[in-house]
Structure 1
Amino acid sequence: MAGKVGGSRGGTIAEPNVIPFIDILLVLLIIFMVTAPIPTVDIRVDLPPPNPIPIRIEGLNPTIVGIRETPGGMQVFVDEQVVTLSQLGSVTLQHAIRNNPSLETEEIYEKARIFVRADQSTAYGNVVNVMSQLSAEGFVKVGIFAETASEG
């Protein structure tokens, strides 16, 4: 038996060692999780109570900022007046002063309501961009104007 060659014990092992492969995948997963981009734009959402009752604020009329997608690009309207993004803050301020004569000029930024309205086809990024620009101009009460399906 001492001279026996071959057999089941003397061959090479052809099984791959998967432990280092799994370790590398786990390290790559951790690297991708750490370096993933974090959202940079947040929209504050104040949810209404269940079964809300429509509230009418006497003396305060909202200023409507509309966004429409056209073949030429995005168009922004303040109370149906076409404006550019660079004019948005000043024109909105003028309309807010006109729509809320009961407010002092210093109170407009804090108390005037600005509603952003957009079609369903409008890109979400455009809506957020307009809302961010209005907030950066100093308007505190910037919200999204919503309609039910029966109103549209």
Structure 2
Amino acid sequence: MAVNLGSNDSGDLAENADINITPFIDVILVLLIIFMVAAPLSTVDVPVELPVSAAPQQPRPDKPIFVSVKADLGVALGEDAVDRPALGAALDAATKGNKDERIFLRADKGVPYGELMGVMNLLRGAGYLKVGLVGLEDTSGGGQP
């Protein structure tokens, strides 16, 4: 509590209800410095090698629809090569317009991740949201190639 020492006719010391905010500002500045130091440390870029999936194999549909991204970055629907802009129309013909049909997307091991995401964006843009990624089954049991 603070006391006002100014002249007072009654002779009693009146209480001053002001809060001393200096310690509060000190604490805030220390927290600011801590967060300024800690924030860049939490966003470190780390190269990642994705593991082989050991998930149980799902039952295969009678007539699966495969979209493949080849090593030369060409796209194929089943066995037929398809231009990327025509992929949506080709899928509509293969699925008879059924947008709920699961599309199996597979890509060559050397295809850049950005190219694979580009094909997934084409599938999403055409209205096909059920996309399954195809990979090799890990038979060694270790989870790593």
Q: TM-score, normalised by structure 2?
A: 0.54
Determine the C-alpha separation between the residues in 1 that align with 2:83 and 2:36: 45
Give 1:55's aligned amino acid.
Answer: P
Is 2:78 aligned against 1:76? no
Greater relative contact order, per chain length (Cα 8 Å cut-off, separation 6+):
2
Work out whether residues 62 and 96 of structure 1, in 8 Å CA contact, stay in contact via their aligned partners in 2. Answer: no
Match in the other structure for 2:27 = none
Determine the C-alpha separation between the residues in 2 that align with 1:56 and 1:78: 17
Task: Give runs of aligned pairs for residues 39-58 of structure 1, distance below 5 A.
Answer: 52=56, 54-57=58-61
- List alignment gaps of at least 5 residues for structure 2: 1-32, 44-52, 140-145
Work out whether residues 68 and 119 of structure 1, in 8 Å CA contact, stay in contact via their aligned partners in 2. Answer: yes
Relative distance call for 1:117 and 1:28 in structure 2 (3 A) is same
Match in the other structure for 2:99 = 109
Give 2:75's aligned amino acid.
Answer: V
Higher-Rg structure is 2
Match in the other structure for 2:91 = 92
Moved segments of 4+, more than 3 Å: 25-33
**What percentage of aligned pairs have identical amino acids?**
25
Determine the C-alpha separation between the residues in 1 that align with 2:36 and 2:138: 47
Match in the other structure for 2:67 = 65
Q: TM-score, normalised by structure 1?
A: 0.52
Give 2:66's aligned amino acid.
Answer: I
How many residue pairs end up in the alignment?
A: 101
Q: What displacement does 1:140 show?
A: 2.3
